[in-house]
Structure 1
Amino acid sequence: MSAAHEDSGFDIINWTDEAATVISDVKGHVRQISISTTLPSTELEIYLNCETLEAKKFTIRLSSDGFRIVSNTFDQIDDLNGFPYETPYALLNELSPAYTNSFGNELSRALSNLEGRCD
């Protein structure tokens, strides 16, 4: 997690900044992703609504524990007892084969562009 600062011996994470970074990183590989405007954000957690390229919708809890699916729809906490993923990439790799394909294609394009510059 990137947006932490030292305060009284423990790290405080700005979850809005953290969520914005996640959204920026994965938005090209999902149909939509945004911070929930319905569920409350606190100093301990924030909720994201994510729709995969396969049109599956999820609410994802982002906290110091990682990324955990809490609902199979937007703006809801059903607490599905899933385990947390360390990164959004690991979570999306599990949820969405199209994410994995999209990410791989982008990586291949980037490598090809680099290769072309080296010639």
Structure 2
Amino acid sequence: MLNREFSGVNAHLTEASPRRALSGLEAATSQKNTTSGEGMEIDCQPEEPVISSFDEDCVELGDVKDMRLEAEAVVSDVLFAVAEMHLSQSFNSARDVAHINVETKEGNRYCLELTESGLRVVGYAFDQVDEDLNTQYHETVYSLLDKLSPGYREAFGNALLQRLEQLKQNGQ
């Protein structure tokens, strides 16, 4: 059963945060499978509410999410897998946009823009925005870092493997 859970988590590595992937893995491996009345194997009871931790990390103000708070959540989720990451203090953050400085494990520095459209690279140095730069938006910081940094992928994979080993040692 552990292999099935691992392959399901592994398929979502670039779109799931390590914290959420690991806690999801923990939940999947700690619950015993039950069988519904129709013979289908399920991991939780249908009446159990599904709570998205993404929504818990968000603070909405009216119809616009506060991107400063979103940016803080982004930084805390992936800080373990990069050399440095912090909110930029050089730009006046607004509710609809925030800038994040990140240095990858390889030593490359980027300035990221976070908006409702997602995250994208806007500069190749801390606190730098190149207006002529037209880079692709990513829905998550995980997919962006996966593209930018092999060291991020390795750190994420190692964290996941460590968590799996902990679960195995605990007999789950």
Regarding TM over 0.5, the answer is yes
Shift in alpha-carbon separation, 1:54–1:85, aligned structure 2, 3 A: same
Cross-structure match for 1:20:
72
2:154 to 92, 101, 111: 101
Q: Is contact 1:5–1:12 with CA below 8 Å preserved after alignment?
A: yes
**Cα displacement string for residues 64-97 of structure 1 (whole angstroms, at most 9, x for unaligned residues):** 0000000000101114201100000000000000
* 1:48 alignment partner, SS class: strand
What is the alpha-carbon distance in structure 1 between the residues aligned to residue 150 and residue 72 of structure 2?
23
Question: 1:110 corresponds to which letter in structure 2?
Answer: R
Larger radius of gyration: 2
Alpha carbon RMSD of aligned pairs, Å?
1.4
The answer to whether the 8 Å contact 2:109/2:124 transfers is yes
The match for 2:140 is 87
2:60 corresponds to 1:5:
yes
Could you tell me how far 1:39 is from its partner in structure 2? Answer: 1.4
C-alpha separation between the residues in 1 aligned to 2:95 and 2:151?
33
Q: CA deviation at 1:5?
A: 3.0
Answer 1 or 2: which has greater strand percent.
1
2:101 to 39, 49, 58: 49
| CA distance, structure 2, for counterparts of residue 97 and residue 6 of structure 1 | 36
Q: For residue 158 of structure 2, what is the amino acid of its counterpart?
A: N
2:121 corresponds to: 69
TM-score (norm 2): 0.64
Partner of 2:166: 113
Measured in 1, the distance between the counterparts of 2:61 and 2:80 equals 33
Aligned residue pairs, count: 116
Q: Give the alignment's TM-score, normalised by structure 1.
A: 0.91
